């Protein structure tokens, strides 16, 4: 099997600058990742779980080339993100990885359609093809009727689904999704997670997804539990195991 992501002993330390105390700036070091090692193979569908603040988003951002690790190595495809040029890093972000952000990051001055179109500006696809690609994906996420609206005019769930469309429109090999159903009701969550499941099963796309929801996590094949900046447990769905049983096992490790 091919490794598509390999993380070796990643650490991340943020500097927290506090207000001047008696004329001094106090700098507190906040160690958010404490040596995370991880191997993701082509066709994996992995959920990352763990309490708020344990470092899930930070890990995903490092693997997506958005944040830099303090120490350790993050390798995506055959590119070492810790030592490659900015140009290659931006190639990774645009062509290899599709990132669904927890905070969406849609551009408010652009319509939903233009937001989805952004990653395609660098592609050589003819516009007609791009249009049908957008429509096909928008239909999948039931936002085809609001494509001409601006992000400020739509709901949180609609923004979320637009952000997912934008992340997958380039057909990236790897999808990194930070709580992709975090703002969706149960019906829309199911649409999204079933679509992810299909992308994984039918198109063999590799998916690494953060979620707090055991039901959502049960669609993936493997669950990693993070605690205090480290991966402390991992479980895999057994062959033929039904989702209910897997949910039960996920809930059990969440108490760890």
Strand positions, DSSP E, 83-153: 97-100
Distance, in Å, from the CA atom of 241 to the CA atom of 216, rounded to the nearest integer, reads 15
By CB under 6 A, is residue 176 in contact with ligand ATP?
no
215 touches which of Mg ion, ligand ATP, none (CB within 5 to 8 A by kind)? none
8 Å CB contact between 256 and 54:
no
Nearest CA among 69, 61, 66, 74 for reference residue 178? 61
Q: Which does 214 bind (CB under 5 to 8 A by kind): Mg ion, ligand ATP, none?
A: none
Please tell me whether residue 57 binds ligand ATP under the rule CB under 6 A: yes
Q: Given candidates 30, 204, 234, 248, which one binds ligand ATP under the rule CB under 6 A?
A: 30
List the one residue from 57, 181, 183, 188 that touches Mg ion (CB under 5 A): 57
- Closest separation between CB of residue 32 and ligand ATP, Å? 4
Query: Cα(36)–Cα(87) distance, rounded to whole angstroms?
Result: 26
Rule CB under 6 A: is residue 68 a binding residue for ligand ATP? no
CB–CB of 226/59 below 8 Å? yes
- # residues near Mg ion by CB under 5 A: 2
Residue 123 near residue 112 (C-beta atoms within 8 A): no
Which does residue 139 touch among Mg ion, ligand ATP, none (CB within 5 to 8 A, set by kind)?
Answer: none
Distance CA 232, CA 120 (A): 38
Cα dist from 168 to 34, 63, 117, 241, whole Å: 31, 17, 11, 28
- Quote the least distance from Cβ 255 to ligand ATP, whole Å: 17
Are 73 and 98 in contact by the 8 Å Cβ rule? The answer is: no
Per-residue string for binding with ligand ATP, 37-56, x by CB under 6 A? ---------------xxxxx
Please identify, using beta-carbon distances, which residue of 57 and 218 lies nearer to Mg ion: 57
* CB of 65 vs Mg ion, minimal distance in Å: 17
CB of 213 to ligand ATP, least distance (A): 12
Please state the closest distance from residue 52 (CB atom) to ligand ATP, in A. 3
């Amino acid at each position: 099997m091919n490794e598509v992501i390999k993380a070796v002993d990643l650490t991340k330390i943020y500097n927290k600058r506090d207000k001047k105390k008696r004329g001094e700036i106090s700098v507190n070091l906040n160690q958010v990742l404490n040596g995370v090692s991880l191997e993701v193979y082509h066709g994996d569908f992995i959920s990352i779980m763990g309490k708020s603040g344990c470092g899930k988003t930070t890990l995903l951002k490092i693997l997506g080339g958005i944040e830099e690790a303090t120490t350790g190595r993050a390798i995506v495809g055959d590119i070492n993100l810790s030592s490659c040029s900015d140009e290659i890093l931006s190639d990774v972000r645009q062509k290899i990885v599709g990132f669904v952000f927890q905070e969406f990051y849609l551009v408010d001055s652009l319509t939903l359609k233009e937001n989805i179109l952004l990653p395609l500006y660098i592609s050589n696809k003819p516009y007609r093809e791009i249009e049908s690609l957008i429509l096909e994906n928008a239909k999948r996420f039931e936002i085809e009727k609001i494509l001409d609206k601006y992000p400020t005019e739509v709901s949180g769930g609609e923004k979320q689904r637009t952000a997912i469309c934008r992340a997958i429109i380039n057909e990236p090999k790897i999808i990194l999704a930070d709580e992709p159903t975090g703002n969706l009701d149960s019906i829309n969550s199911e649409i999204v997670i079933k679509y992810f499941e299909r992308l994984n099963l039918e198109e063999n796309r590799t998916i690494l997804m953060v979620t707090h929801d055991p039901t959502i996590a049960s669609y993936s094949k493997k669950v990693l539990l993070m605690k205090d900046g480290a991966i402390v447990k991992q479980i895999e769905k057994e062959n033929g195991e039904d989702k209910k049983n897997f949910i039960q096992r996920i809930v059990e490790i969440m108490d760890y």
